[in-house]
Chains A and B, each alone.
Chain A
Amino acid sequence: MSVVLPTFVESAIPVLDAIIKVDIGSFLLMDREEASHRGRNLNMNMSGSQKRPARLSSALFVALATTSTALVTTLGGALAAPKGELVVVNWLGGSELATMQAFEKAFTEKYPEVTIKEIPITWSGDARGAIRTTLMGGEKVDILINTWPSFRQELVENGVLRPLDDVWTAKGWDDKLTKSWRDLGSVDGKVYGIPYNYGDRSGLWYRVDTLKTAGIETPPATWDELLATFPKLKANGVTPYIVPGKFWAHAEVFETLLIRTAGADASRKLGAHEIAWNSDIVKTTLKKWREMLDAGCCADVATMLGTDWDNASDIVLKDAKGGFFLLGMWINNRAEENYGLKPGVDYGLVQFPALGLGHDADSSVDAKEFNAVTSGQNPEAADAFLDFAISAEGSAIFAKAGLASPSKATDSSLYGPVIRASNDVVAKADVVFVLGDRLPAELGDEYRTQLQKFLQDPSDANIDRVTDALEAKAKELY
Chain B
Amino acid sequence: MAGPTPMGISRDGQEGGRKPSFFGGSEVGAAYVLLLPMLVLFGCAVVYPLVETVVLSFTDMRGMAAGKWVGLKNYGTLFADPNFRAALSTTIVWTLVVTALSVGIGWGLAIVCSLAPRATLVFRVMFFAAYGVAETVSGFIWLGIFRPDTSGLVNAVLAGIGLGDWTTAWLGNVSTALWCLMAAYAWTQVGLPLMTCFASIQTIPKTLFEAAYIDGARSASIMRYIVLPLSMPGLRVAIFINLLNALRAFDMIFVLTGGGPVRSTETIGYFMFRESMLQFKLGYGAAATVVLLVAVVVISIPAIIKRTAEAT
Contact = CB atoms under 8 A, between A and B. Distances in A.
A pairs with B: yes
Contacts of B281: 442
B169 A160 contact: no
Contacts of B263: 449
15 contacts: A128-B280, A132-B280, A160-B64, A300-B168, A302-B172, A303-B149, A303-B172, A305-B260, A306-B169, A306-B172, A306-B261, A321-B149, A452-B260, A452-B261, A452-B262
A49 interface: no
A442 B63 CA distance: 10
A307 B172 contact: yes
Interface in A435-464: 441-442, 445, 449, 452-453, 456
Contacts of B169: 299-300, 302-307
A307 B258 CA distance: 12
B170 interface: yes
B8 to A, nearest CB: 46
- Name which of A124, A135, A136, A158 has the most chain B CB atoms within 10 A of its CB: A124
Interface string B257-272: 1101111000000000
A155 interface: yes
A457 to B, nearest CB: 11
A306 to B, nearest CB: 2
Given A302-B169, A303-B172, A136 B262 contact: no
A136 B276 contact: no
B124 interface: no
Contact of B277 (A126, A311, A449): A126
Interface string B168-191: 111111101000000000000000
Interface string A220-252: 000000000000000000000000011100000
Contact of B148 (A306, A441, A453): A306
A93 interface: no
Given A158-B64, A247-B260, A306-B169, 6 more contacts: A126-B278, A245-B172, A299-B148, A299-B169, A306-B171, A453-B262
Interface in B82-98: none
Contacts of A299: 148, 169
Contacts of A321: 149
A126 B258 CA distance: 12
Contacts of B149: 303, 315, 321
A432 to B, nearest CB: 23
Interface string A40-79: 0000000000000000000000000000000000000000
Contact of A306 (B64, B170, B276): B170
A302 B148 contact: yes
Interface-central residue, B172, B254, B273, by most chain A CB under 10 Å: B172
B65 interface: yes
B171 to A, nearest CB: 5
Nearest to B177: A306
Of all A-B residue pairs in the complex, the 7 with the closest CB atoms, nearest first, are A306-B172, A306-B169, A129-B277, A302-B173, A305-B172, A305-B261, A302-B169
A337 interface: no
B64 A246 contact: no
B168 A302 contact: yes
Contacts of A301: 172
B279 interface: yes
A189 interface: no
Size range of the chain B interface in the assembly: 20 to 34
Interface string B128-158: 0000000000000000001111000000000
A245 B254 CA distance: 16
Interface string B160-172: 0000000011111
A299 B149 CA distance: 10
Main secondary structure of the interface of A (DSSP, over half): helix
Interface in B62-76: 63-65
Interface of A: 124-126, 128-129, 132, 135-136, 154-155, 157-158, 160, 245-247, 299-307, 311, 315, 321, 441-442, 445, 449, 452-453, 456
Contacts of A453: 262
B274 interface: yes
Contacts of A452: 260-262
A441 B278 contact: yes
Nearest to A126: B278
Q: Specify which of A246, A301, A453 lies most central, judged by the most chain B CB atoms within 10 Å of its CB.
A: A246
B158 to A, nearest CB: 14
B150 to A, nearest CB: 10
Contacts of B262: 305, 449, 452-453, 456
Nearest to A443: B279
A128 B279 CA distance: 10
B254 A124 contact: yes
B179 to A, nearest CB: 13
Nearest to B64: A158
Contacts of B254: 124-125
A463 to B, nearest CB: 15
Contact of A246 (B63, B168, B172, B176): B172
B63 A154 contact: yes
Contacts of B258: 125, 246-247
Contacts of A441: 63, 278-280
A306 B65 contact: no
B129 to A, nearest CB: 25
A137 to B, nearest CB: 12
A452 B265 CA distance: 14
A125 B272 CA distance: 14
Contacts of A124: 254
A456 B258 CA distance: 17
B63 to A, nearest CB: 5
A126 B259 CA distance: 14
Given A154-B64, A246-B172, A303 B276 contact: no
